[in-house]
């Protein structure tokens, strides 16, 4: 994650900042009800710093190779300790070190809602959320598709949380928007560079400083221009624009009125029929009858609960809150079990130079892709064989990417049959036959014109799904 190579570390850093940015309005909204007045950037800095700290702690635990279940117990202990420490130093900063009355007050606040939800609950839930996001980062893939999906989803969450904060408290979260877009666009650009490096067989090389400066400059210019243009998007300027275009709105109003009138002409008989029906109904008598029955049916009766019922409610409340806490910790434990920490491999770096293209290679890639597709169309036409050929090419390309990540890359000019022995080393020996079928099928559609049947394509897809789950030195 953060301590891996420069490119991946920056991507994880930006993703953490994106999550802290969209969650900051939620935190400010919660603090608004407790009369805590924080600036958006200060709250963002606190969340961002805590999230980075928890990610570093988890990465250090992974590097120490702590075995299960000691790893899960260590994480659960850290969650409990950090939650208590946050409550201790946030709500009771002046309490002496040996005074543990704050612990009793915290337990009382967690299990009693007579005065509403206490701030202790808010702090503990925020800390639990940060730990969950840090744990999720340990198993997150930083491909261009995944980072782009997180970027788009974060925009929706930021819009929702910022709107909630602005509606209830009137506090603006506009600084967080520019922070989010700066970090998000940087993460997307670096993920695209990473995918390009995988394709060009240079995934192990470090991102050159000039290329990194190019990314930062592009993102800075984009966000800066957008922020400058937003200065003109104000309420007064929008009203001035509407006043300037008032003649146009007058014309559109008349056109809309005539359009609605023309649409209602065929519905005139139906509307007249409905008017006659409602005219014959005595609505006043119906409402009077319902009102009289309502007074007799729903007349309030004062009821005093017995002490046994009050005691039962108190016991059930403690049991319910205890179950919520246990379920939250169990969710974290299951989340930890889901993560395969064996996939966290130290990525070595080596410095290399790379030319600055300013995005010029995108046009060449697009032209090459169109050329490949046109060649397939010439061979197979617009038929099922064309889709089968594209599927075979995608299957083989994905296998080459997996092998490349495991240290068995394919060189640019290396034929697929020469690369097959190297490809076999990236997987278990049991996958040798399936890899051979996929390789020969790829050579048929890439170099020849023999079509792939639907039954054969189904077999190749089955082979791919079985092979891609196999790892070196792991039984199939």
- How does pLDDT run across 364-413, given as a tens digit for each residue? 555 566 666 666 665 555 666 677 777 888 888 888 888 888 888 887 77
- Report the C-alpha gap between 380 and 388 in whole angstroms: 10
| pLDDT above 70 for 476 | no
In the chain, the percentage of residues whose pLDDT exceeds 90 is: 16
Compute the C-alpha angle 85/88/94, nearest 5°: 135
Q: Would you place residue 310 in the very low, low, confident or very high pLDDT band (cuts 50, 70, 90)?
A: low
Which residues, in sequence order, are CB contacts of 468 under 8 Å at separation 6+?
Answer: 398, 399, 402
Q: Name the more confident of 239 and 124.
A: 124
Dump pLDDT digits (tens) for 75-96.
889 999 999 999 888 888 878 8
350 phi/psi in degrees, rounded to 5 = -140, 135
Residue 205's DSSP bridge partners are 350
| pLDDT above 60 for 446 | yes
Q: Where are the domains of the chain?
A: 6-231, 240-292, 361-467
Which residues, in sequence order, are CB contacts of 90 under 8 Å at separation 6+?
Answer: 123
Taking the model in full, what pTM does it have?
A: 0.56
Dump pLDDT digits (tens) for 326-339.
777 777 766 666 55
Highest mean pLDDT, choosing among 193-207, 281-295, 451-465:
451-465
**Nearest one of 367, 48, 313, 82 to 176, comparing CA atoms:** 48
- pLDDT for 319: 75
| pLDDT above 80 for 66 | no
- pLDDT for 365: 55
| pLDDT above 90 for 23 | yes
**Nearest one of 189, 67, 71, 85 to 135, comparing CA atoms:** 71
Q: Would you place residue 357 in the very low, low, confident or very high pLDDT band (cuts 50, 70, 90)?
A: very low
Q: Would you place residue 45 in the very low, low, confident or very high pLDDT band (cuts 50, 70, 90)?
A: very high
Mean pLDDT of the chain: 77
- pLDDT for 475: 42
């Amino acid at each position: 994650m953060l301590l891996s190579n420069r490119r991946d570390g920056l991507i994880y850093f930006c993703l953490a900042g994106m999550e802290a940015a969209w969650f900051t309005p939620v935190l400010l909204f919660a603090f608004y009800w407790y009369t805590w007045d924080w600036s958006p950037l200060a709250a963002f800095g606190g969340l961002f710093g805590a999230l980075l700290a928890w990610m570093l702690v988890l990465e250090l635990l992974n590097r120490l190779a702590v075995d299960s279940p000691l790893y899960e117990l260590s994480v659960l202990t850290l969650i409990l300790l950090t939650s208590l420490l946050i409550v201790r130093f946030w709500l009771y900063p002046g309490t002496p070190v040996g005074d543990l009355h704050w612990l009793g007050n915290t337990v009382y606040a967690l299990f009693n809602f007579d005065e509403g939800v206490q701030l202790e609950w808010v702090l503990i839930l925020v800390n639990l959320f940060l730990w969950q996001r840090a744990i999720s980062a340990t198993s997150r893939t930083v491909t261009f598709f995944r980072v782009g999906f997180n970027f788009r989803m974060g925009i929706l969450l930021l819009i929702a949380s910022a709107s909630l904060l602005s509606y209830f408290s009137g506090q603006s979260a506009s600084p967080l928007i520019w922070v989010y877009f700066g970090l998000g666009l940087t993460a997307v650009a670096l993920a695209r560079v990473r995918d390009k490096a995988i394709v060009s067989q240079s995934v192990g090389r470090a991102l050159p400083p000039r290329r990194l400066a190019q990314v930062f400059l592009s993102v800075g210019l984009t966000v800066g221009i957008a922020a400058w243009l937003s200065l003109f998007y104000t309420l007064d300027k929008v009203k001035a624009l509407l006043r300037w275009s008032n003649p146009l709105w007058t014309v559109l109003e008349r056109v809309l009125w005539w359009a609605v009138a023309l649409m209602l002409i065929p519905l005139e008989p139906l509307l007249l029929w409905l008017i006659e029906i409602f005219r014959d109904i005595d609505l006043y008598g119906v409402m009077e009858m319902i009102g009289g029955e309502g007074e007799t049916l729903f007349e309030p009766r004062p009821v005093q609960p017995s002490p046994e019922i009050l005691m039962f409610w108190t016991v059930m409340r403690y049991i319910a809150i205890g179950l919520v806490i246990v379920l939250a910790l169990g969710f974290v434990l299951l989340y930890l079990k889901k993560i395969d920490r064996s996939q966290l491999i130290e990525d070595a770096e080596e410095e290399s130079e790379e030319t600055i293209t300013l995005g010029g290679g995108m046009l060449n890639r697009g032209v090459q892709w169109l050329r490949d597709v046109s060649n397939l169309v010439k061979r197979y036409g617009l038929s099922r064989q064309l889709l089968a050929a594209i599927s075979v090419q995608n299957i083989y390309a994905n296998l080459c990417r997996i092998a490349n990540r495991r240290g068995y890359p394919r060189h640019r000019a290396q034929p697929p049959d020469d690369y097959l022995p190297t490809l076999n080393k990236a997987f278990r020996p049991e996958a040798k036959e399936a890899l051979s079928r996929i390789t020969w099928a790829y050579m048929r559609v890439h170099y020849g014109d023999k079509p792939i049947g639907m039954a054969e394509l189904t077999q190749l897809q089955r082979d791919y799904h079985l092979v891609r789950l196999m790892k070196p030195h792991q039984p199939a």
